[in-house]
Structure formats: structure tokens, C-alpha cells
């Protein structure tokens, strides 16, 4: 029964023919609305697929670089629990004292302006995932730059972390990095012993960079080496290197930093040997901030245009760490981590083969 208006007119329902018409109209109208909504949803999905198709780079290298960039952004946006699970999947070694992880590309170790996620923030969560809810947070033993991948050591307690940190500071840890350089160092094996200092670059984009502060210079009069006054702000920096493989435009190098100065490997390669790391846009030029300039042969092999080089990631990987262990340091713990996929893909395209003796 329905009540219409305020006059109290009562209807005991429409006539049968009217009821049937109303049902037919309601069914037809509902079906039309459902079809319309379904068509609209499908149209929106089709538009999204088309946009993704247009945005997806055709070049496989650019596709992989984009995936890598998206992964780095995702690691910054995901919930800390998700990030901790990702680090757990990348564990290389674990015992009652240490946990060794494979650090992903683009993930900073410490927090800072604009950084949502970092390794230090998720160490308490990772510890609980590995050793139960009562586990104490893991501790950092050393650090790697945001763009560097590979072996990273964590400790279960502060005492162990302090002991490992002392090993790093006293240069008892043997560190070996793999990198792809632009160009071939001459000689193919050697040692770079040039101090490094941080300086402000005076340009239209004023910024700071690490650079060389050599103790010697070549005399313009007779061409002999002349000792110069040491920069009091400079830090001693020593790097061993050797060529593992080479092609006409790029090389695969093994680097062994004896000291641990900020950006040491990048500066020694770019300014000391004249062979910057592939994807190192910060040290590609001294006086400006601009994408790295690659030789034509490298561009061809990588399948890139120079305008797209800015998307290339830094190809620097912490491949191996050797820690002295035991009370007297008579035992050694060798920690090895294979390069990430973007690194190995670049090796294949550049025709750089890892020596069989180093394949793990």
C-alpha cells in the first residue's frame, strides 16, 4: 500500500497490466544500465592498455632500464614489511653472528630528505622475520651507495657490528667490486694512489663533487714530476684495478679499494684513469651536471640513442668481501654475490665475458 500526497489517498496497488509493464520497464532499464556500465569499464580498460602500450619502450634495453627505475621507486613506496621480505629473499649468508644481504639497486642505506624507505629503517622488521618477534634489530657493519649493488654485511648485536666495523677501518677486509667502464685503462692492471678532496664546482649549476688532489704534477718546463703542497682537506685514496674483459668501447674491471673514501672508485676511474663507470652521470663531466657521453660503438651495442643515455643506471657491483674470522683471524669468510640482471645484460650486449675462473 502506498500513500500519496497529504490527502490520504490510498492505492492498493496497480492493476495487473500496469504491474507487468512496470516490471518490463524496470528489467529493460536495469539491463541497459548494466550493459552501459560494462561497456564503459571495458572502454576505460582498453584506453589504459593502449596508453601502457604507447608508453612501453620498444627498445629492450630501455624497457629493462624502465623496469629498474620502477622497481627502485616501488622499493621507496612499499610498506616496510614488503621491503624487509625483499631483503630476506636476497640473503646470501646467515649464521649466529652475521646476516649478509644482496643490496638492491636504488635503495639507500640511510634516510634523508625525500627518502621514504631505507635499509636501516627495516632492520628491526627483518630481524623479527628471521628470529622471531623478540629479536633485537640487526646492525649495519658498513655502507654502500644508493646506486651500488651487492654484498652488504649486517650483525645480530652491537659488539659484533663494532668488531666488523673495526676490520673495515683497519683495512683487514678485502673488497672486490665489478664495474663496466667506458674505455680501456692503460695499463690493464695497476694501482691508483691519488688523494681525493671534495670541491665546489663553479658553474651555472653550483654543486659539490669529489675530485683528485694529486701530490705531484708535471713540470711544464722539463716534463718532470714535481711534488706539490698537500691539500689539508684531502683524504688518502688507493685503488687496485685489473681488466677482466674488454671490447672496442668498454671494459669489465675488477676494483679493489684499499681505502674507503666517498666515491673513491668513481673518481679514480673517471679522473684518474679517464675511464668513467658506465651510467655514472655525476662524474661524466667536471664542470656541469649532464648525462654521460658514450662512444658510437657503445651506443650501437647497447641499442641506445645518446638522448636516452641518461636512463642508464650506475654499473658498480660489490662482488666479493673476505672477512677474517675466528679469535686469531686465522679463518676467512668469503662472501660472493652475482651481479644484477641489468649488469649481466649490459655485459652480453657489449660482448664482455666474465672469465670462467671467476664464474660462481
Confidence of residue 216 (pLDDT cuts 50, 70, 90): confident
Per-residue pLDDT, 105: 92
Q: Where do the structural domains in the chain lie, given as residue ranges?
A: 174-321+338-350
pLDDT at 16 > cutoff 50 = yes
Average pLDDT over all residues of the chain = 85
pLDDT at 211 > cutoff 90 = yes
* % of the chain surpassing 90 pLDDT: 58
Each residue's pLDDT tens digit, 307-350: 888 889 999 999 999 999 876 667 899 999 999 999 999 999 99
Rounded to whole angstroms, what are the CA distances from 236 to 232, 264, 268, 272, 290? 11, 10, 12, 14, 28
**CATH fold of 174-321+338-350:** Pseudouridine synthase (3.30.2350)
Per-residue pLDDT, 71: 63
Residue among 121, 145, 157, 193 flagged as catalytic: 145
Per-residue pLDDT, 329: 64
User: Is pTM beyond 0.95 here?
Assistant: no
Confidence of residue 10 (pLDDT cuts 50, 70, 90): very low
Active site residue 95: no
Amino acid at each position: 500500500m502506498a500513500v500519496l500526497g497529504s490527502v490520504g489517498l490510498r492505492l492498493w496497488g496497480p492493476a495487473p497490466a500496469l504491474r507487468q509493464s512496470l516490471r518490463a520497464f524496470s528489467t529493460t532499464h536495469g539491463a541497459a544500465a548494466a550493459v552501459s556500465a560494462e561497456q564503459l569499464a571495458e572502454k576505460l580498460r582498453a584506453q589504459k592498455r593502449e596508453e601502457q602500450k604507447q608508453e612501453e619502450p620498444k627498445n629492450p634495453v630501455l624497457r629493462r632500464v624502465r623496469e629498474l627505475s620502477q622497481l627502485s621507486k616501488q622499493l621507496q613506496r612499499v610498506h616496510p614489511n614488503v621491503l624487509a621480505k625483499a631483503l630476506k629473499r636476497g640473503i646470501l649468508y646467515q649464521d649466529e653472528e652475521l646476516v649478509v644481504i644482496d643490496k638492491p639497486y636504488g635503495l639507500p642505506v640511510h634516510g634523508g630528505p625525500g627518502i621514504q624507505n631505507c635499509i636501516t629503517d627495516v632492520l628491526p622488521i627483518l630481524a623479527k622475520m628471521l628470529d622471531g618477534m623478540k629479536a633485537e634489530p640487526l646492525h649495519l657493519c658498513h655502507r654502500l651507495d644508493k646506486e651500488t649493488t651487492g654484498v652488504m654485511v649486517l650483525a645480530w648485536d652491537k659488539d659484533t657490528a663494532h668488531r666488523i666495523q673495526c676490520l673495515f677501518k683497519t683495512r683487514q677486509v678485502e673488497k672486490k667490486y665489478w664495474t663496466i667502464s667506458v674505455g680501456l685503462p692503460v695499463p690493464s692492471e695497476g694501482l691508483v694512489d691519488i688523494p681525493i678532496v671534495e670541491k665546489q664546482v663553479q658553474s651555472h649549476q653550483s654543486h659539490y663533487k669529489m675530485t683528485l688532489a694529486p701530490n705531484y704534477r708535471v713540470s711544464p718546463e722539463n716534463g718532470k714530476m714535481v711534488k706539490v703542497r698537500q691539500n689539508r682537506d684531502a683524504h688518502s685514496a688507493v685503488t687496485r684495478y685489473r681488466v677482466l674483459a674488454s671490447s672496442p668501447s668498454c671494459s669489465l674491471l675488477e676494483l679493489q679499494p684499499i681505502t674507503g673514501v666517498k666515491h673513491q672508485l668513481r673518481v679514480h676511474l673517471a679522473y684518474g684513469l679517464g675511464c668513467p663507470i658506465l651510467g655514472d652521470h655525476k662524474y661524466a663531466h667536471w664542470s656541469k651536471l649532464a648525462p654521460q657521453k658514450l662512444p658510437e660503438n657503445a651506443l650501437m651495442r647497447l641499442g641506445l640513442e645518446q638522448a636516452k643515455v641518461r636512463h642508464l643506471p650506475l654499473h658498480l657491483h660489490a662482488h666479493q668481501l673476505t672477512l677474517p674470522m675466528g679469535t686469531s683471524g686465522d679463518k676467512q669468510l668469503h662472501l660472493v654475490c652475482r651481479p644484477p640482471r641489468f649488469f649481466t645484460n649490459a655485459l652480453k650486449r657489449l660482448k664482455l665475458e666474465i672469465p670462467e675462473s671467476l664464474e660462481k
